[in-house]
Structure 1
């Protein structure tokens, strides 16, 4: 494991690197709390997202006495890109997550998973029942809606020529505004910086564009795997299920069925946001902290 200086000097995070089981270089952010007496919080991002998505949650949780880890999957954020896009799959990523947790010395935790991160949380609960003590699922359930997947496929790995970050902010607002009417101008700016990077007069994605191949099988005619079996393992622990009000990935019907199968599940709807809520607004942060406050 290699340790580097904090990538964001305004936050008490340490940027750490660890080798994946196949040798690829993985990155995670560690928000240390040496005096923590409570379970750590492990944050797992969405398909094309990064560890940086969780900084406001991490800041609040650390102030409340928890160590926080936020992971970059292979090919995202500061982790190394894989030469073979076929290894951007759930099984390989699960092994990466377990290697990262072993490096960090984490054997049990509360998990916060956005979208794909929530699927990982369900699968980890089945594979390592003692690891996941409670879960926050950000706009994801065991059934993923086809319309939402088709929409995600339409943009992952694709970026028109842009020269400034301000252009990227304008693009995001134009394309996502109908589903994210409740997002402030400041939050759009933050979200854009978490999504893109400006290098040598051009704007680039903060992930490997080859991730778009993971959606090759997503077609209007396709049938998709569901995750009710791994969710059954998670259903025994406290769950906070967050849903964006205009989400096209997590339906109300699926959320209702999750609540029926998981007696400890609590719900929270983020108004004016779709898939997936950005985890930047104070009310959502407060609701997450309320849930965390009841956990070990």
Structure 2
């Protein structure tokens, strides 16, 4: 069904918030919602490490006729509050926040679209007993992350640059995300504008630069333990999984995808030829790939 066939009020995003808790206190989580709020068929779209839920505006509009689409800003990003303790910026806290959000939505199950970090959060949740996750699309991420990608991410994460104009910030974010694919200037403006905020006459990224602290502090032993837990989650999850890899990805290798297909219960894979980490899913063909998976085609 085309976006134009959705009634205008359901085709437009609605901004909402939910209160979550961490060991350091309460924090407000922002989420954008599309579609019929009474629809029990929910698609949860969760973004990457330094991105926002508004990355999914175009995909959400395309799904709004059939789904209640919910796109959260993970804590410390977008319109969500920053955590008092930056050590909380880790997957266990994000999983807890997503369970609070799902409880707010009042549904028993959700389908999950996760890009990069958002995929890791979904995989961790999917591996828990009685998980609410029904189907899981992992956009260019798996239990094993290539070291070269971790090095690349570490080189920019946590920096807090200032920009003289909104366009300069949009262009800088586009350079950092150039492997998303062949996006137009309008595409970059669409997904990067929500990442930026003007304060005291200058523009800066909205995300808390302290999200880099726990990322940089991970030891090899902690990384190995986390990877083992994610492999276990993949093997445990009984629902269908689609692993989408950007053909030029430096984060998700073909060998990891092959192992995921082998070790998971119902794992299939697809590759996006003209993208790296991670396909933007702005293109209609990419959106249709996701639709076919969630519709069981």
TM-score category of the 2 structures, normalised to the smaller one: 0.7 to 0.9
Partner of 1:107: 108
Return the match for 1:57 from 56, 59, 74.
Answer: 59
Partner of 2:87: 86
**Gap runs ≥5 in structure 1:** 1-8
State the number of aligned residues: 283
**Gap runs ≥5 in structure 2:** 1-8
- Asked if the contact 1:43–1:68 (Cα under 8 Å) also holds between the matched residues in 2, the reply is yes
Q: CA deviation at 1:275?
A: 1.3
The alignment partner of 1:17 has SS state of strand
Sort the Cα spacing of 1:132 and 1:223 in 2 relative to 1 into closer, same or farther, 3 A. closer
Partner of 1:242: 244
Distance 1:172 1:123 in 2: 28
Moved over 6 A (4+): 219-222
Partner of 1:158: 159
- Asked if the contact 1:73–1:93 (Cα under 8 Å) also holds between the matched residues in 2, the reply is yes
Q: CA deviation at 1:231?
A: 1.3
Q: CA deviation at 1:180?
A: 4.7
Q: CA deviation at 1:181?
A: 5.3
- Asked if the contact 1:182–1:271 (Cα under 8 Å) also holds between the matched residues in 2, the reply is no
Q: Please provide the CA RMSD for this pair.
A: 2.4
Distance 1:150 1:218 in 2: 13
Sort the Cα spacing of 1:15 and 1:128 in 2 relative to 1 into closer, same or farther, 3 A. farther
What is the TM-score normalised by the length of structure 2?
A: 0.86
1:145 has 2:137 as partner? no
Sort the Cα spacing of 1:47 and 1:170 in 2 relative to 1 into closer, same or farther, 3 A. closer
- Asked if the contact 1:129–1:233 (Cα under 8 Å) also holds between the matched residues in 2, the reply is no
Partner of 2:4: none
1:272 has 2:265 as partner? no
- Asked if the contact 2:134–2:239 (Cα under 8 Å) also holds between the matched residues in 1, the reply is yes
Sort the Cα spacing of 1:180 and 1:278 in 2 relative to 1 into closer, same or farther, 3 A. closer
Q: CA deviation at 1:220?
A: 9.6
- Asked if the contact 1:85–1:213 (Cα under 8 Å) also holds between the matched residues in 2, the reply is yes
Deviation digits for residues 108-128 of structure 1 (CA, Å, limit 9, x no counterpart):
011111111111111111224
Distance 2:61 2:125 in 1: 25
- Asked if the contact 1:247–1:273 (Cα under 8 Å) also holds between the matched residues in 2, the reply is yes
Deviation digits for residues 224-266 of structure 1 (CA, Å, limit 9, x no counterpart):
43120111123x2111211112111111100011111235323
Deviation digits for residues 58-97 of structure 1 (CA, Å, limit 9, x no counterpart):
111112x111111122111111111210111211221111
Q: CA deviation at 1:39?
A: 2.5
Distance 1:248 1:261 in 2: 22
Deviation digits for residues 194-226 of structure 1 (CA, Å, limit 9, x no counterpart):
332344432211211111112213689995431
Q: CA deviation at 1:173?
A: 4.3
Q: CA deviation at 1:35?
A: 6.0
216-225 or 87-96: which moved more?
216-225
Partner of 1:192: 192
Sort the Cα spacing of 1:187 and 1:163 in 2 relative to 1 into closer, same or farther, 3 A. same
- Asked if the contact 2:161–2:204 (Cα under 8 Å) also holds between the matched residues in 1, the reply is no
What is the TM-score normalised by the length of structure 1?
A: 0.87
The alignment partner of 1:92 has SS state of helix
